[in-house]
Amino acid sequence: MLQFAFLYSAPQLKGDEGMYLFNDLPGQVLQDRYGFEATEAWANHLRLSSVRFNSGGSGSFISSNGLVLTNHHVASDTLHKLSTPERNLIDDGYLAKSLDQELKAPDLELNQLVSIEDVTSRVEQAVDADAAPSESAKQRRAVIATIEKDSLEATGYRSDVVTLFGGAKYHLYRYKKYTDVRLVWAPETEAAFFGGDADNFEYPRYNLDATIMRVYEDGKPAQLKNFLKWSSDPLKSGELVFVSGNPGRTQRIFTAAALKYLRDSRIPYLLDFLRRKEVLMQQFSLEGQEASRRARDELFGIQNSRKAYTGMLAGLQNPQTIQNKQAREDVLLAAVAKDPDVSGLAAAWSEIAAIQQEKAEMLGKSVSFRSSLFGYALQLVLLAAEDQKPNEERLRGYTDAARDSLLQSLLSTAPVYDDLEQVKLADELSRFIETQGADSPLVMQVLAGKSPRERAAELVNGTKLGTVAERKKLVEGGNDAVSVSSDPMVALARTVEEEYRRLRSENERIAESERQAYARVSQAVTAIEGTGGYPDATFTLRLAFGEVKGYLEDGKKIPATTDFSGAYQHALDHAGQQDFDLPKSWLKAESKVNLKTQLNFVCTADIIGGNSGSPVVNREGELVGLIFDGNIQSLTSDYLYSDEQGRAVSVAGVGIIEALRAIYNAGDLADQIGK
């Protein structure tokens, strides 16, 4: 049975729960529980040594000359884009022997968080509290665009306003951006993803899920003041560790009604969607080795999500989960009702319940077809139109502050594979018929009298958006060029633009209503249960902490750490099974490796997707590990933290160094690390 975590605030937090803001660290908790003092210098150094990957993950600076550590599975998007039929970085890994062999990522952006400013009052003053949600959403968007633009112009930093505590707080995050990022070293997928989909989210593990890149400035390795030194000591059970990374999204503030929506509508819908795409990509892969290579990275991502959501749904389908949540909510609501200062806030819960119904009705309504080429087309069409408007009226992602990042992705040199695009677009058109109905006028316009497969072939064969030059021409040509372009993919994006905008604005209205309601829930909870705690995750930098700690599973003791000898044994135990072969480099090096070196470990720190690639540091701020997974018992942590069995899974820092030296002949690289 799952134990339910305390959801709201510091006094009710459970064990090592918490993803804390760097400007609101849990100093007292760390002092009381671990006798640890998180000094400002310690925290600032850790923050400035941490980076966010715009492809969806975390990382850290690990040398003065620009080295960056992240997961292989965070880097795999880049590895995939840098691969060709002749140079298969995903299968074979990579090691740059010199700076000139380091390979530039086609569209990676790394963000280093340099400051946080509370802008709540500036946002609130600009929003009319009595306005209808669609109006207040517009006002909020406008003031946020202005704050971001002002900050960008004043500082030159990427500037993002982040909504926290369901809309009770707004903070302005300023980032130094690194857009020249190069690949230095990656192991083979066989080592990084050892055990494949079968072992994913399991523990014990033996994965070298690590990759090293380097950031450049002005064509030279960036000179960094803040980077992590590495500990050479093995991890000890009970040791206090910290995780500094960017958890993507949690939903711990969610009401019981919102969890029911996840259980009954959203996650079943997502799972149907993911399984559909999984089977589609598998079918495409069957066409041959090159097809398989083209589809692999996306297929892995889909399988990973499918497995994660399956675990989340299993947690929600346990009758205890929502019963416990409901019981806690009943107690809280009874207290709210008795307190005249906040009793008016109780309506927020029923508003949230009503909003879930609206959200359920929006599921599957989308005209944003998942295909790179269509994605480019839609971005081009929106960019051209948004550029006609003043900055504060533009869609999020199309403001002045967001322009560089948008162009970084729109002008990516990543290859586009027409065969894969065709299969993906045909399936999206087929799904469009299913969700909108074949007789919808928009569907008929989109299909133009053809079957999904024929139409997809015509679009992909007809468009020129596969080349950067063509996209650049349309970006530079602006609305005059885009609005009359005869490119069929651009024409398709124009066809669906109006409906896309309608759906987007409808979704924004719903999100705004929900945000306002959760802000009142936050207010009520704070009034009843006190302040403190942490806001739900927002893919921004957070600090989590915990102990290196094993656990019990079906009465069996699962140890906190594994080592290299375990990896070789695991391969033997699963001989002949798919994804359980260690790469040749490991087999060849077996006699050279110190088999007792730690390879993976678990700790109780509170993490979630987006934390992949986060550094794990000790009290001294030295790197001891690299987050790469959560175990299956942690999959409910989207809405519920538990340290009974839930664990974060990391590669040990000492294991990375051992592999570089003993397996990958990368002693020169290892020598640079931490220096």
Binding interface with a copy of itself (CB under 8 A): 196-198, 260, 263-264, 268, 271-272, 275-276, 278-279, 283, 286-289, 306, 313-314, 317-320, 322, 430, 433-434, 437-438, 444, 447, 449-454, 574, 576-579
Find the shortest distance in angstroms from Cβ 555 to a copy of itself: 14
The SS3 assignment for 623 reads: strand
Find the shortest distance in angstroms from Cβ 442 to a copy of itself: 13
> Contact at 8 Å (CB) between 239 and 284?
no
Distance between CA atoms of residues 647 and 205, nearest Å: 12
Distance between CA atoms of residues 188 and 575, nearest Å: 18
Six token digits for residue 303 = 């399988």
Q: How many angstroms from the chain centroid is the CA of residue 332? A: 32
Nearer to a copy of itself, 145 or 426 (CB): 426
How would you write 303-325 as a 3-class SS string?
Answer: HHHHHHHHHHHHHHHCHHHHHHH
Nearer to a copy of itself, 196 or 532 (CB): 196
> Contact at 8 Å (CB) between 518 and 348?
yes
Write down how long the chain is.
675
Nearer to a copy of itself, 344 or 437 (CB): 437
Helix or strand holding residue 82 (H, E) = helix 72-82
Find the shortest distance in angstroms from Cβ 317 to a copy of itself: 5
For 531-594, give the DSSP string.
S-S-PPP-SS-EEEEEEB--EEETTEEEPSEEEHHHHHHHHHHTTTSTT-PPPHHHHHHTTTS-
> Contact at 8 Å (CB) between 251 and 258?
yes
Nearer to a copy of itself, 99 or 279 (CB): 279
Find the shortest distance in angstroms from Cβ 606 to a copy of itself: 23
Strand partners, 61: 68
Distance between CA atoms of residues 19 and 11, nearest Å: 15
Six token digits for residue 500 = 């896309």
Smallest CA-to-CA distance from 48 within 111, 117, 112 is with: 112
Six token digits for residue 605 = 């720190």
Distance between CA atoms of residues 446 and 498, nearest Å: 13
> Contact at 8 Å (CB) between 89 and 72?
no
Distance between CA atoms of residues 477 and 630, nearest Å: 46
Which residues 6+ apart lie within 8 Å of 507 measured at CB? 362
Find the shortest distance in angstroms from Cβ 305 to a copy of itself: 12
Nearer to a copy of itself, 263 or 542 (CB): 263
Find the shortest distance in angstroms from Cβ 621 to a copy of itself: 39
Find the shortest distance in angstroms from Cβ 391 to a copy of itself: 42
Nearer to a copy of itself, 438 or 484 (CB): 438
> Contact at 8 Å (CB) between 172 and 538?
no
Distance between CA atoms of residues 624 and 233, nearest Å: 8
Nearer to a copy of itself, 339 or 418 (CB): 418
Find the shortest distance in angstroms from Cβ 371 to a copy of itself: 17
372-386 and 468-482 helices, crossing angle to 10°: 40
Find the shortest distance in angstroms from Cβ 164 to a copy of itself: 31
89-115 as b/e, with b when 16 or more CB fall inside 10 Å?
bbebbbbbeeeeebbebbbbbbbbbeb
Find the shortest distance in angstroms from Cβ 7 to a copy of itself: 20
Q: How many angstroms from the chain centroid is the CA of residue 53? A: 9
- Which DSSP letter does residue 265 get? I
The SS3 assignment for 108 reads: coil
Find the shortest distance in angstroms from Cβ 458 to a copy of itself: 13
Nearer to a copy of itself, 224 or 423 (CB): 423
The SS3 assignment for 193 reads: coil
Find the shortest distance in angstroms from Cβ 604 to a copy of itself: 23
For 115-180, give the DSSP string.
EEEE-HHHHHHHS-TTS-HHHHHHHHHHHHHHHHHHHHHHH-SEEEEEEEGGGTEEEEEEEEEE-E
How many C-alpha atoms does 381 have within 13 Å on its Cβ side? 26
Find the shortest distance in angstroms from Cβ 447 to a copy of itself: 6
Find the shortest distance in angstroms from Cβ 339 to a copy of itself: 30
Find the shortest distance in angstroms from Cβ 444 to a copy of itself: 7
Nearer to a copy of itself, 230 or 580 (CB): 580
Nearer to a copy of itself, 457 or 491 (CB): 457
Find the shortest distance in angstroms from Cβ 437 to a copy of itself: 6
Helix or strand holding residue 96 (H, E) = none
The SS3 assignment for 67 reads: strand
Which amino acid appears at position 519 of this protein?
Answer: A
Nearer to a copy of itself, 275 or 504 (CB): 275
Distances (CA, A) of 634 to 262, 609, 648: 17, 11, 8
Find the shortest distance in angstroms from Cβ 636 to a copy of itself: 11
Distance between CA atoms of residues 457 and 516, nearest Å: 45
